[in-house]
Every structure is written in C-alpha cells, then in structure tokens.
C-alpha cells in the first residue's frame, strides 16, 4: 500500500470524524421525536372491529363498579343505567358520542418549548415511567430502596438523553413515608430535574391541589399553566377488572378541571386481573379506558386524555409479571393499533425487562419491545428506559443503555428512503469509472454518514484490539462512566432560585437545595 493511499485514508477518516462531531441540523437528523411508525400490525382490520365490538358490549352489559358519588351522578345524568349490584352500564351511544367529539391532536408541552411533543397519528415518542421501589446499585449489584435523590438524578439523566423524549416518575421515594410529602416531592424532583414533559401521579386530590400551586409558580401563573400544562397526570382510575378506583377518580376530577392532560391508565395483568387470552386482555383494557374517556368528557368536554391501555403479561407458570416478554411486545403493539383505530393519542408500556441487571437478557428483551412498539406507531411509549425486574427496580445505567437501544429502534421506524440521490447511480459511476474503487471519501458518504445513520453513545463498535487498549469495558461500565459524568456536571437551572424559594416556603420540599447545585 502506497504512502499516498494511507494518507488519503487517514484524511478521509479525519474528515468523517469532523463531520460526526459537528452539530447536526435538526431537519437532517436520522432519528428524532415524532417519527411515524405504523408498519407493524399484529391485528387485522377485522380483529380491531371485533375488539371494539366486544369492548362496547362489555360496557353495555357488564359495566363498571365502585363509582364514587360524583362519577355515578355524571354517568346517570348522561344516560347510563345502574344495576341492582351498583354497576354502571354505559350504552354504546354514549361511548360513540364521546368518540365523535373528544380531544384529538393536542400537544404535550414541556417547560422548554423545543421539547414539546405532538403525539398523534402514528408519531412515536419514548419516555420513562414505572414507580419502582428499588434501585440497582452498579457497584455492588444489590437492590436498595429508592430515594428522592434517585428520582431527581434519573430526571437529570433523561434531560441529557436525546432519544428519551419525556420523563414520568421512575421510582417511588421510599425515604418519604408521608403520602403528601411523597407526591409533592415527586412532582418537584421531576420538574426541577428536566425541562422535558413530565408525567406524575397523586394519591389524593389535596396532594394534587398542593402540587398545582407549585406548577402555577413555575409556569408564571395559573393562566400561563393552562396555556401550556407541562405536566400530565398518570391516573390508574380503574382497578381491573372493570372497577373504578375511588381515590384515583376523585383526584382525576381535580386534574381534569385544572387543565392537566390525563393518562387514562388501565393496567390489568393477563391471567390475573385481565383475561389470559391476549385478545381478551386487549378487550378489557379498551373497555376500561373507553369508560375513562367518557368520564373525562363528562367532567369537561374536550379535555385532553391519553388512551392508556397498559395490559401487562403474567408468566402463567408462576403468576409473576413478565414485562420483557414477547407477549408484552405483542400486546403493546395491539394497544397502538387500537388507539389509531379510534384516532386517539395512545400510550402503553414498551421497554421493560425482567432481568435484574444491565445484561444480555435486558438487552434482548428491551430491544424487541422497543422495536415493535416503535414500528407499531405507538404515540407514547412508557416505561421504555431504566426499568428492570418487571418494574420493581430502576437503573441509572439502564437509562443510558436504553437511550442507545431506543435510537436504534427509531432508526428502523424511519426506514429506507428511495429517491434519485439515494439510488446512488452517480456515486457508483464516480467510484467505478476512474475513481478509487471505494466510497470511503466520497462526498455522498460524508453527507450521509450523519443524515442516514444513527450511532450508539455507549454501545461498542471498536475492533478487539482497540477495545482492549481502552480497558476492555462492558456496556454497563461505559454507561456507569456516562452517569458519573452527567451527575457531576449537569445541574438544571431552568427554574429560578427566586421561584424555588417561594415553592419551598409554601410546600414541604425535602430535596436538599445544595445537592441541586454544582459541588465545590
């Protein structure tokens, strides 16, 4: 090999590295929030028609139990009936009337408008959720109880992850036994840790009312909040099967009237609290969420609500949840299709693992769950990052690794663009006729290495020799290094000290202010 060829190849490599490291214009990024999926369809049109029909029949003939007085009054005044056992029967006409006029194509705002989401059609967005009660300790491989600082740290990491588009509570602060303090501080840690859209939940109405004071302060007033509500409410308004959850419904009523987008979350577990048959599990979830959609619109017509069918899977050998299973991936894709069937913003889980660590099992389970959820066109993919042990544990390193996995899944959603330039006849001509016989330094290669290709952040693509030279690290070790870098340098300051002090003077905020500032 001549010196000129070696020099040329080195020059080409330097040029590619320079392009790779240069800031990329938003309009030519290979992956971004809101890519349109919808090509993976495990359900046929006939299947969806049958699921819809069965769900409507379930609401008409089986109905919902345990309605609180305000809920009961709303339904009965609108034309529902009540059985002698106290079950609310919801007529088909009431559901269809709601579907004809409920909110569609509503944005989910962020504190920073550049992170606003447009979750409709088959546009795909990935985010967190989970409410784990343990953290995976990378150093010891032990599970310990999660804390408020863990929640804040996870929000800070998500704030830096390009492929995680929104943040919903990942862990329960077990160091806050008081329910009011837990709910208020969960909201606080989330909105202070990231500028992206946040999802939170509350046990009682008064907890939400206290948190709304904080959100109004951050927004610049209640009117500003109502214009751009940057927190949505994750509401488990049902206790499957087909039963309203009393406290959650009372809290949801406050959230709807406060202008907060509501994630109507039905989380039955197949074989336990929903039918073992996957189709039946979908039917129950759809019926329950349709009941919630009617409920929300009876409270406030046109209020924004996310169609949150979250059917989970059981390992029927033991009854334990199996969030990383292939069946879970199928159910999640089916949920996406049913949301599109009704032309509603859909949200479901996609990216849990049953593994306890950031390991090979976590990788393959998360990989196919991410890919099928994205390619089904699910608008809001919850629990997609950092969740382990079937939602019992969360991992800081998992957030970073999952950011890579989600990026790869999004690249499959974008697909292969075929046009005159991408067919590459001119490039082939340049290389083959009087050219170098390779495409390494070709203009098209330089141009497309960023616009057509997505690259992992902590995934390894080096040669064995290069890998050994830098320490023979595993992906969880590289992710741990990334976590340390973020937590030692990224201290979000999008909420002013003045507003923070006012919040702290009014609410029992437990997160140490010094912890939220760069350390000396």
- Give the strand order in the sheet containing 380-382: 35-36, 123-126, 380-382, 347-349
Reading the chain (520 residues) residue by residue, the pLDDT tens digits are 445 544 444 555 565 555 555 556 777 788 999 999 999 999 999 999 999 999 999 999 999 999 999 999 999 999 999 999 999 999 999 999 999 999 999 999 999 999 999 999 999 999 999 999 999 999 999 999 999 999 999 999 999 999 999 999 999 999 999 999 999 999 999 999 999 999 999 999 999 999 999 999 999 999 999 999 999 999 999 999 999 999 999 999 999 999 999 999 999 999 999 999 999 999 999 999 999 999 999 999 999 999 999 999 999 999 999 999 999 999 999 999 999 999 999 999 999 999 999 999 999 999 999 999 999 999 999 999 999 999 999 999 999 999 999 999 999 999 999 999 999 999 999 999 999 999 999 999 998 998 999 999 999 999 999 999 999 999 999 999 999 999 999 999 999 999 999 999 999 999 999 999 998 6
Cα–Cα distance between 352 and 240 in angstroms, integer?
A: 21
Handedness of CA 41, 46, 49, 51 (dihedral sign): negative
| Residues whose CB falls within 8 Å of the CB of residue 282, separated by 6 or more in sequence, listed in order | 51, 309, 311, 331, 334, 335, 338
DSSP category for residue 315: E
What DSSP element (H or E) covers 208?
Answer: helix 205-219
Cα dist. 336→258, 327, 344, 346, 495 in Å? Answer: 28, 14, 10, 6, 35
In the chain, where does the domain assigned CATH 3.20.20.480 lie?
100-414
Q: What is the pLDDT of residue 7?
A: 47
Task: Give the N- to C-terminal CA distance of the chain in Å, as an integer.
Answer: 53
Looking at residue 6, what is its pLDDT? 44
Quick check: 391 and 321 in contact, CB under 8 A?
Answer: yes
Residue-wise burial string across 247-286, b where 16 or more C-beta atoms lie within 10 A, e elsewhere: ebbbbbbbbbebbbbbbbbbbbbbbbbbbeebebbbbbbb
Between the alpha carbon of residue 182 and those of residues 133, 158, 174, 516, the distances in Å are 13, 21, 8, 18
Q: How far, in Å, CA of 127 to CA of 166, rounded?
A: 5
Give SS3 for 158: helix
CATH number of 100-414: 3.20.20.480
Phi-psi region of 121 (alpha: psi -120 to 50; beta: other; left: phi over 0): left
């Amino acid at each position: 090999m001549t010196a000129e060829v070696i020099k040329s190849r080195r020059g080409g490599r330097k040029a590619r590295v320079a392009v790779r490291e240069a800031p990329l214009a938003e309009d030519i990024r290979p992956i971004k929030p809101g890519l349109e999926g919808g090509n993976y369809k495990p359900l046929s049109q006939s299947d969806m028609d049958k699921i819809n029909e069965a769900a409507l029949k379930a609401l008409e003939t089986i109905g919902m139990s345990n309605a609180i007085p305000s809920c009961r009054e709303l339904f009965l005044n609108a034309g529902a009936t009540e059985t002698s056992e106290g079950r609310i029967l919801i007529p088909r006409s009431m559901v269809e009337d709601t579907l004809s006029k409920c909110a569609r194509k509503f944005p989910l705002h962020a504190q920073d408008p550049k992170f606003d989401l447009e979750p409709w059609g088959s546009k795909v967005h990935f985010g967190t959720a989970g409410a784990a009660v343990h953290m995976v300790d990378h150093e010891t491989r032990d599970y310990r109880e999660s804390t408020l600082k863990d929640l804040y740290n996870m929000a800070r990491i998500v704030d830096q992850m390009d492929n995680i588009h929104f943040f919903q509570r990942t862990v329960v602060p077990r160091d806050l036994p008081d329910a009011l303090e837990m709910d208020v501080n969960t909201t606080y840690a989330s909105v202070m840790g990231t500028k992206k859209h946040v999802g939170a939940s509350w046990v009682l109405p008064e907890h939400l009312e206290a948190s709304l004071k904080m959100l109004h302060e951050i927004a610049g007033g209640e009117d500003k909040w109502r214009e751009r509500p940057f927190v949505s409410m994750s509401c488990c308004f049902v206790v499957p099967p087909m039963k309203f959850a009393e406290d959650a419904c009372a809290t949801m009523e406050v959230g709807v009237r406060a202008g907060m987008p509501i994630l109507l979350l039905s989380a039955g577990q197949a074989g336990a609290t929903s039918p073992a048959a996957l189709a039946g599990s979908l039917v129950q979830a759809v019926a329950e969420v349709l009941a919630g959609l009617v409920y929300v619109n009876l409270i406030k017509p046109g209020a924004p609500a996310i169609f949150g069918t979250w059917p989970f899977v059981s390992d029927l050998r033991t009854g334990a949840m199996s969030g990383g299973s292939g069946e879970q991936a199928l159910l999640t894709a089916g949920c996406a299709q049913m949301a599109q069937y009704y032309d509603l913003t859909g949200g479901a889980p996609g990216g849990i693992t049953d593994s306890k660590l950031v390991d090979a099992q976590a990788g393959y389970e998360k990989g196919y769950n991410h890919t099928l959820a994205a390619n089904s066109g699910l608008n809001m993919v919850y629990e997609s990052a950092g969740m382990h042990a079937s939602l019992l544990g969360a991992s800081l390193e998992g957030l970073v690794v999952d950011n890579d996995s989600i990026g790869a899944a999004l690249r499959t959603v974008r697909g292969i663009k075929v046009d005159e330039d991408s067919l590459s006849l001119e490039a082939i001509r340049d290389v083959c006729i009087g050219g170098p016989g390779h495409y390494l330094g070709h203009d098209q290669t330089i141009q497309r290495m960023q616009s057509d290709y997505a690259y992992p952040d902590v995934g390894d693509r080096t040669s064995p020799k290069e890998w050994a030279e830098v320490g023979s690290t595993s992906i969880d070790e590289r992710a741990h290094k990334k976590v340390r870098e973020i937590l030692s340098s990224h201290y979000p300051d999008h909420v002013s000290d003045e507003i923070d002090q006012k919040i702290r003077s009014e609410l029992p905020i437990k997160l140490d202010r010094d912890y939220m500032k760069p350390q000396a």
